[in-house]
Amino acid sequence: MVTVAEIIEVRRGHIEAPAGCGKTELIAGCVAGGSLKPTLILTHTTAGVAALRQRLKRGNVPAANYRLNTIAGWALSIIAMFPERAGYRHNPLAAPDYTAIQSSVGALCRSGDIAREIAATYGRLLVDEYQDCSISQHAIVSGIANAIPTVVFGDPMQAVFGFGADPLADWNSNVASTFPRIGHLGTPWRWNNAGANDLGNWLLGARGLLQQGLSIDLRSCPGRVFWHPLGGVTAGAITEQIKVQYDISREHPNDSILIVGDSKLAETRHSYASRAYGVSVVEPVDFTDVVGSATSMNGRSGTSLLHACIGFLVKVMTNVYGDKLLARLQSIEADRNRTLPTPPERAAIALTHSGGYAEAVAFIKAMAADRDRRVYRHSAFNIMVDALSSSAATRRDLGETIAALREQQRHAGRVVPTKAVGSTLLLKGLEAHHAIILDADRPGNVMSRQHLYVALSRGARSVHVFSRNPILP
- Secondary structure tally for the chain: helices H, strands E: 22, 16
β-pairing, 471-472 vs 216-217, is antiparallel
CATH class, range 191-282+418-472:
alpha beta
Q: How far is CA 308 from CA 1, 322, 456, in A?
A: 56, 11, 40
For residues 56, 58, 59, 65, the Cα torsion angle rounded to the nearest 10 degrees is 40
Q: How far is CA 190 from CA 58, 69, 300, 421, in A?
A: 15, 24, 51, 21
CATH code, residues 4-187: 3.40.50.300
CA nearest 116: which of 85, 74, 71? Answer: 85
- Which residues, at least 6 apart from 172, have a Cβ–Cβ distance to it below 8 Å? none
The model carries a pTM of: 0.87
User: Could you tell me whether strands 257-260 and 280-281 are parallel, antiparallel, or unpaired per DSSP bridges?
Assistant: unpaired
Per-10-residue mean pLDDT of the chain, 473 residues long, equals 92 96 93 89 82 87 94 93 88 80 94 96 96 94 98 95 80 95 96 97 98 97 96 77 96 97 92 95 91 95 98 98 96 93 97 96 98 97 98 95 86 80 90 96 90 97 97 96
Contact 68, 41 (CB under 8 A): yes
227: alpha, beta or left, given left = phi > 0 and alpha = psi -120 to 50?
beta
Looking at the chain, which residues constitute the CATH 3.40.50.300 domain(s)? 4-187, 191-282+418-472
- Exposure string for 320-350, b = 16+ CB within 10 A, e = fewer: beeeebbebbeebeeeeeeeeebebbebbbb
